[in-house]
Amino acid sequence: MEFKFLVGYDGISLAAQVGGDPTHQTVLLLHDAGQTRHEWAHLARRLILAGFHVVSLDLRGHGASQWHCDYSLSVLAADIRVVMDALPGTPAVVGSLLGGLAALAAISEARREGLEIASALVIADPHAGQECERRILETCLAGGSDDFDAAIRSIASQAASIGLSTLHKYLRQQADGRWYWHSDPRVWLYPHAAAAEPAWSELRLPLLLIEGPIASPALERIGRQAPAARRLRLESGRGALFFADDLDALDRNILAFIADELSAGTPAANALTLRRALGAFATGVTVITTTDASGRPVGLTANSFTSVSMDPPLVLFCLDKRSASLNAFERSEAFAINVLNSQQQDISRRFASRAEDRFAATPWETWELKVPIIQNAAASIECEKHSVVDAGDHLIFLGRIHHTWLDPQRAPLLYFQGGYQQVLLTRANA
């Protein structure tokens, strides 16, 4: 594998090892707190042999990556988002606990923006219950050592199961010339698992959760929020310092899951080009609304809306089959298309978020078909459901227009290349 530096959030330098054919499916490997990219060394090699393109990353403050004053989950997630955006195709992600939680936060944030940046996610916690051991190891070199051999000896007694020839992977030489533990101790000051909780219910992709023999509270909570996730409990875990001479049970199960869910030969470069090309098409932003079986309002942000026919008057929108709102739209016989105006970015974000009651802070009313109509929109279109078409990973809902409303004074909100844009309305002289 080739060693290189990648760019993270705010320009931070992140170390990585990269291997395999970049035109094939990419797998991003992320380690746990106190670890480095070497945690996944053997799995990386096997994935490459299986035909995958692999990127194994050192998180900020770990291994050969740059240290920083901020290790909050949101910043770690921002690093991962920047890295993922630069990778070919839609990568699968494998993360040992901290890496997995940061990836989850990045994936969820992108999904709230209407973007699917990952094809599958594995979160493993093979080190559950060993945080104390790793912190003890870090304190052995809290002040650094000016002699490499002395640094090795100072931690060898805490890592007797690891050969001296391997321990060098856990040391780094700082600018002062002294040898330190390979991760910044300030990483442990942040409550990463608690910060990840708001993202858990956003999951809409193949997910595998792997625990060691000691239960992982974080994975237990994720499992409750994502009942469709595959879960696995292994009889043996991994030590706080771990390098595999061969594939252990953890690696074998991850390899099987990735191979099961994804084809190594997926033309990732073409997928990336397609995603960027589609992003070059500016669209309006709509909130699609209906009611569920109990009459409660349901709504979501979408830009996959278009007109179909003038006679009869038909429009359509597309809905991901994994959407939590899918059942309500399938059962309902009516829906509304609310074309947001340029001052309604807050409504767009609200209806793309995990907020339980998106309508509480949103002014709305109903018309004849009794579906929610968002007030002050640039336009609203009330529709009777005409038909539903199955198309790949989406359903296409066609509606026959029942009633329309337009405010020509309001400019529409636009979405282009991953961000909101505005239209400047001008009036021709009379």
- State the 10-residue block means of pLDDT for the chain, 430 residues long: 93 95 93 88 90 96 90 93 90 94 90 82 74 49 61 58 55 70 74 59 79 80 78 67 52 87 64 65 94 95 94 96 89 97 92 81 96 97 98 94 95 82 64
Helix (H, G, I), strand (E, B) or coil at 40: helix
Range of the domain at 117: 1-129+191-274
The Cα–Cα gap between 249 and 172 comes to 30
The Cα–Cα gap between 365 and 342 comes to 20
Measured CA to CA in angstroms, residue 314 lies from 35, 370, 384 at distances of 56, 19, 10
209 and 323 belong to one structural domain? no
Residue where one domain finishes, among candidates 242, 274, 306: 274
How far does CA 126 lie from the centroid of its chain? 21
249 and 384 belong to one structural domain? no
At 261 the pLDDT is 83
Measured CA to CA in angstroms, residue 52 lies from 67, 210, 217, 271 at distances of 30, 21, 31, 15
208 and 326 belong to one structural domain? no
The Cα–Cα gap between 112 and 199 comes to 10
Please state, as a whole number, how many other Cβ atoms lie within 10 Å of the Cβ of residue 405: 14
CATH number of the CATH domain containing 261: 3.40.50.1820
290 and 316 belong to one structural domain? yes
At 413 the pLDDT is 93
288: in domain? yes
Tokens 């078409």 belong to residue: 389
Domain count, the chain: 2
Residue where one domain finishes, among candidates 274, 307, 328: 274
pTM: 0.59
At 240 the pLDDT is 42
At 359 the pLDDT is 95
229 and 307 belong to one structural domain? no
Closest-CA residue to 319 (of 293, 348, 346, 286): 286
121 and 30 belong to one structural domain? yes
CATH number of the CATH domain containing 350: 2.30.110.10
How far does CA 260 lie from the centroid of its chain? 20
Residue where one domain finishes, among candidates 211, 239, 274: 274
